[in-house]
Chain A
Amino acid sequence: MSIFSRQNSRGSAAIQIQGLHKNFGEYKVLNNLSLEVKRGEIFGFLGLNGAGKTTTIKTLLALLKPTSGQLYMLGEKIDAGNYKLWDKVGYLEEATFYPDLTVSENLDIARRMQGVSDGESVKRVMGKLGLEPHKKKKAKHLSLGNKQRLGLAKAMIHNPEILILDEPINGLDPAGVAEIRNMLDDLAGNSGVTIFLSSHLLEELSKVATRIGIIHKGHLIQEMEMGKLEQSLQKNLVLAGRDAKALKGVLKEHGYEFEETKDGHFKLTASQAVENPERLAELLVKANQPPTMLRVITEDLEGYFLRTIGMVRGTN
């Protein structure tokens, strides 16, 4: 069987976390975290530093024991003693390697430790990740981007059903980022690999994830299909004119709510303005205050994320 050619088996849960709590002494890191990742999906896991992303990943990998709660992968309970499960899971938490060994030696060790008998898999994964030209280079002499590629290659050498990746595009140049993005797309779309992806590069995550989950203070506060995100993103109408005072008067006169930005522009969030910008433009022209700038700006994922976190902060 060639690498990355597993049957696509969408539908059932690849990862299930139920009521997960994790305390370090008095400090509660994870607080009743529950989530489910379906097979074949790319799940983007977002959160601020200290939100509990890495602790969640380490608990999934049985590197940490949950204080309470249940974790399953591919229907099997996660436990340090259930080591056979790692045959189906690849992970990249931090690109690590044996520094004095070459790229191909590091991969060969990963292959053997994963129990892959096919020696050609090293060559294939090097080709897939563009590491072929560096195969004889000691790992410690690799660039940051190539170290990250080596980490990914180790995670994928055994053709896993689930890939757990923590910041996988760290250190990659824009071309490398696009390459990895396409590869993840291909793995999930064509080979049915489930990808659990944690990243702080929210824009990149929005390009590759099929669903996102936002973790805040150890609790999952939002889960959403990427297709539905568009509807949830806030839209603002931003406008400017030659005479700000007069423009303000016109807006007030016609009942538009607005706020003034630091750069002297006006930001309108009401749907009557955002959905009908041409009506507002016409009105301003008629009032002899034609706008010098009028734009509908859609919130990006980062803005949405910060707003969601802010909302939760506000309720706390």
Chain B
Amino acid sequence: MTIFSILHCEIRKIIRSNVFGLVFLVFAFGPIMMGVGILSGDGGDLNWQIYLEELVKNLAALGLIGYTFIAAWVFGREFTDKTMKDLLVKPVSRLRIVMSKLLVVLAWNVLLSVYMFAVSLAIGGVLGLTGWSAILIGHIFLRFVVTSLLFIVVTTPGIFLANVSKGYLAPLALILVIVICSNVLASMGFAPYFPWTIPGVFQSTGFLNLSSIIILALTGIAGVVGTFVWWRYAEQP
């Protein structure tokens, strides 16, 4: 069976679930609330640049939690729906199934990041902000998407945990702890060395040093490899 056929099944399972619509609602709610918050704190000189830079910075934490939830849910739901065994007793390589799920997680999260940015633009439009520049918007958008991709890389340990804990609640708990740790570590100057704060460093500076890239890559790879190994060798009592 081709990976496209498995992908088709995965996409269909997601699109027809209640979570799919709910996630889009939540991801719209974040920018709306943050946009209102920025507006209410406005001293009168708010324009597109200030608004978007402030907004995407605040969206980072929401993105980290949201992307991790989605990644954990795509895998963890197979346990909560008790369909995991159905996937394992199929004439399909388990590695292909994991690969398909990872691709779906990537696609869904990238789609959501673009969606969040689009909602942010729509709110800015409603507020009638000044200083619109396609180049400026394009630049902020690009950095936001790359930051989102970096956040998506560090969701893989959450995926591994979703499999080991057989559900998506443990990864959610983990990511809440990580968000707290991230704030503490960032304030101590360790942001370039903690996997979950590194995307935020890129968001602020537009640059990452080699050690940050290595830490980020190793974290992402560890999650993916752990997930592959778990699917191949773990027992399903």
Contacts and interface: CB of A to CB of B under 8 A. Distances in A.
Interface in B80-95: 81-83, 85-94
A307 interface: no
B83 A98 contact: yes
B9 A112 contact: yes
B236 A94 contact: no
Interface stretch (A83-91, A182-190, A195-203, A290-298): A83-91
B236 A86 contact: no
A25 to B, nearest CB: 12
B135 interface: no
Contact of A101 (B13, B90, B91): B13
A109 to B, nearest CB: 5
Contact of B13 (A24, A63, A65, A109): A109
Contacts of A80: 88, 94, 232-233
B12 interface: yes
Contact of A100 (B6, B9, B18, B89): B18
A98 B78 CA distance: 9
Contacts of B45: none
Interface string A63-91: 11100000000000000110111110101
B91 A83 contact: yes
Contact of A112 (B5, B88, B233): B5
A105 B91 CA distance: 19
B9 A64 contact: no
Given A58-B237, A109-B13, A87 B91 contact: yes
Contacts of B187: none
A281 interface: no
B57 interface: no
B25 interface: no
Contacts of A93: 85
Interface residues of A, number: 32
B17 A96 contact: no
A105 B12 contact: yes
B89 A86 contact: yes
A89 B235 contact: no
B126 interface: no
B16 interface: yes
Contacts of B91: 83-87, 114-115
B85 A63 contact: yes
Interface in B167-210: none
A96 B237 contact: no
A93 B86 CA distance: 10
A136 to B, nearest CB: 13
Contacts of A81: 232
B16 A105 contact: yes
A98 B94 contact: no
A72 B155 CA distance: 39
Contact of B90 (A65, A94, A113): A113
Contacts of B82: 94, 96
B1 interface: yes
Interface in B1-44: 1, 5-6, 8-9, 12-13, 16-18
Nearest to A90: B89
A238 interface: no
A98 B233 contact: no
A269 B235 CA distance: 49
B230 to A, nearest CB: 12
Contact of B88 (A63, A85, A87, A100): A63
A209 interface: no
A97 B78 CA distance: 10
Contacts of B92: 83, 113, 115
B235 A96 contact: no
Nearest to A59: B235
A208 interface: no
A149 interface: no
Contacts of A229: none
Interface of A: 24, 58, 61-65, 80-81, 83-87, 89, 91, 93-94, 96-101, 105, 109-110, 112-115, 154
Interface of B: 1, 5-6, 8-9, 12-13, 16-18, 81-83, 85-94, 232-233, 235-237
23 contacts: A24-B237, A58-B237, A62-B88, A63-B88, A63-B237, A80-B232, A83-B91, A85-B91, A86-B91, A91-B89, A93-B85, A96-B83, A96-B86, A98-B81, A100-B17, A101-B16, A105-B12, A109-B9, A110-B86, A112-B9, A113-B6, A113-B86, A114-B90
Given A63-B237, A97-B83, 17 more contacts: A24-B237, A58-B236, A63-B85, A63-B88, A83-B91, A83-B93, A86-B91, A89-B89, A98-B16, A98-B81, A100-B16, A100-B17, A101-B13, A101-B16, A113-B90, A114-B90, A115-B92
